[in-house]
Amino acid sequence: MSQLLRNSKILIVDDFAEFRISIKFMLQELGAQMVSQANNAREAINLCKNSRFDVVFCDYNLGDGQDGQQILEELNLRGLISVATLFLMVTAETSSSQVLGALEYQPDAYITKPFTRQQLEQRLRRLLARNAVLKPIHDAMLQESYLKAIMACEAVIEQYPAVRFATLRLKAECLEKSNQIDEALNLYNRVVEEQPLLWAMVGLGRISFKKKDYQNSLTYFKETLQEFPSQATVLDWIAKCHSAMGMNVEAENQLKDAIGISPKNVRRQSLLGEVAQTLGHFELAHKAYGKAIKEGAYSCIIDASHYQHYFDITAELVMEKQGKDLMRLLEDTELCYKRVESMHAKDAAKLACVQASVAKLYQNADKESQTSKYVSKLAKTLDRPNCEIDNETYQHIENALKVVAQNEKFSSSLKQLHDDLDLKKQVYEETLPEEDNHSDSETVDARLLNREGMQLAKAKRELEALQKYNQAIAIEPENFGYRLNAVQVIAENKMLMNNAKYYQEAKEHLQMLGDTMDQDDERWKRYEALKEKLENA
C-alpha cells in the first residue's frame, strides 16, 4: 500500500486545520508524499480544477458554504473527479438526515471521526487494492471506450471474483452509456435475482423510466423501497413516476416523505416545488423552492430558473398577503433578485426571464413604482447585443408582460418591449437548423439581409423590409424563419395586406411552411398564428 500511496495525489478538505494536519501526518506515515489541503469548498474545487486527485478526504460539515455532500455532487457534475477517484466522506454526524444525505451521492467510503491510523490504514488498503484491480476498466471509461471497458470487466470478473459486484456495476454503467439498454436490463435482472442490491434494483426502475414505461418503473421502485425503506432517492424516483403518470398529489406526498428523511437535497426540494406549483399549493411550493435556493446557494445546481420559479410562485402569494406578511415577501424578493442578478449578470436571456417574473410579481402586489423599475431593467436587458431569446424564453416573458399590461400606464413602454422581444425572437429563429445546401458565405449573406429586414420592420419601413426578406429567401428558400418574417411584415401592414400581390405572396409562403414544417418545430405556433391572422383579414 505504501507504493500506491506514494504515487497518489491526495486532497484533504476540512475547516479545522488541526484535523487536516492530523490526517496528513497519518497519511505520510503510511507513505503518502503528495498531500494537498483545502479549508472550504471553494478552495477544494479550485484545487480540483488545477489538478487531478486520486484520493479525496472531505469532511461533511464545513461550516458556512457548501457541505461535503454538495462538494461531491459539484465535483462530479463538473467532471473534476472521475470514476477512478476515491472519495471518502469524513464526519462526526450521526443523525439520519445527515448520514443519508451524504450517502445519496455515493462516496466510496464513509468514515466517522475520530479514527486511528490503524483504522485509516485498514480502510485505505482495501479501497486502494480494489481500485488497482479496477484500473483497466477505469482507464477505458475515462477514454469513453465503453466496449473496451466492458471487455475489461469480463477479464476482471474472471480473475478477481472478490470485486465481482463492483465490476458488474461498472459494466452495467458502460452498457447504458454505449446504448446497450436491453443488455444492461438483463444484467440488472441477473444481479437482483442473485442478491437484491440497491444499485441494480434502481437500475431496473431507471431504465424502465427512460423507456417511458412508467407503470413498470413504479413497480420496480416500490419493490426497491420494501428492501430499502430509508432510501430517499428511491422515494424521489417513485415521485417522478407518479408525476409522469399525472398523479401529482401522490408525487407530492412521496417527496414530502423523502424530504423528511433527507431535507438538504437541492434537486429534491426543487422537484417538490415544481409539483406543488402544478397543484396550486403555492405556500408549499414557495417553501420548497426557498429551501432549494438556500441549500444550493453555493452549488452549481441552482440557476436562474430556480429563482424564476420562486418569483412566479411569490407572484401568486402576494395577491393573498397583506401587512407584514406582504412586506416580508417583497423584502425577500429584493434580496433574492440581487443574488440572481449578480450570479447571471452576463447571461442576458436568463436575467430577462427573471426580470419579467419580478415585474409581474410587483404588478400583482400593486406596487407600481417597483413594477416600473423592473420593466425598465427588462428593456435594458433586451437591448443588450448578447440577449438571445429562444421560444420558451419569449413565451415566458410574453406571459409575464400580459399581467403587467393590466396597468394602462405601462402601455407605451410595453409596446416598445414587445417590438424588441419580437426582434430578438426572429434573430433566434434564423439560427435554428434547416437542411443546409449552402456555403458558409451564402448563409452569412442571407442572415445579414434578414437582420436588415428586421431593423427596417422595426423602423416601420415594411416594404423595404419585405424586399430584404425576399432577398434572403432567394438565397435560402428552405429557411422557415425568413418566410415567417416575410409573412409577418405583410400581415401587420394594412397597405401590404390590401395589395393582392403581397397577400398572395404571404399565402404562398404559408403554403410552403404548412407543407414542409414539422408540427413539433418551435416555430409552428407562430406559423399557425400568422395563418389565422391572414385568414381573418
pLDDT in tens, 380-426: 998 887 787 877 888 899 899 999 998 888 877 787 787 777 767 76
27-31, 117-121, 263-267: range with lowest mean pLDDT: 263-267
pLDDT confidence of 102, banded at 50, 70, 90?
A: very low
Asked if 40 contacts 65 with a C-beta cutoff of 8 angstroms, the reply is: yes
pLDDT at 477 over 50: yes
Domain boundaries, the chain: 1-132, 143-213, 333-429, 436-535
Asked if 311 contacts 354 with a C-beta cutoff of 8 angstroms, the reply is: yes
pLDDT at 124 over 70: yes
pLDDT at 256 over 60: yes
pLDDT at 437 over 70: no
pLDDT in tens, 129-176: 999 999 999 999 999 999 999 999 999 999 999 999 999 999 999 999
- How far is 420 from 379, CA to CA, in rounded Å? 8
The CATH classification of domain 1-132, taken from the options 1.20.1250.20, 3.40.50.300, 3.10.20.90, 3.40.50.2300: 3.40.50.2300
User: Long-range contacts: 318-322, Cβ < 8 Å, 24+?
Assistant: 318/361, 318/364, 318/365, 319/364, 319/365
pLDDT in tens, 502-522: 999 999 999 999 999 988 887
Q: Work out the angle at residue 147's Cα, subtended by the Cα atoms of residues 79 and 133, and round it to the nearest 5 degrees.
A: 70
pLDDT confidence of 215, banded at 50, 70, 90?
A: very high
Show the cell assigned to 475.
438565397
The mean per-residue pLDDT over the stretch 55-59 comes to: 95
CA atoms within 13 A on the CB side of 46: 7
- Say what the alpha-carbon torsion angle 219, 221, 226, 230 is, to the nearest 10 degrees: -160
Q: Give the chain's end-to-end CA distance (angstroms, integer).
A: 82
Maximum average pLDDT range among 65-74, 353-362, 461-470: 353-362
pLDDT at 211 over 50: yes
Q: How would DSSP label each residue in 197-250?
A: -HHHHHHHHHHHHHTT-HHHHHHHHHHHHHH-TT-HHHHHHHHHHHHHTT-HHH
97-101, 245-249, 451-455: range with lowest mean pLDDT: 97-101
105-114, 244-253, 418-427: range with lowest mean pLDDT: 418-427
Under DSSP, the state recorded for 354 is H
- How far is 330 from 404, CA to CA, in rounded Å? 17
**Cis peptide bond prior to 161, omega within 30° of 0:** no
Least Cα distance to 492 among 529, 520, 439 occurs for 529
The mean per-residue pLDDT over the stretch 481-492 comes to: 90
Strand partners, 460: none
pLDDT in tens, 520-529: 887 888 899 8
Task: Name the CATH superfamily housing domain 436-535.
Answer: Tetratricopeptide repeat domain (1.25.40.10)
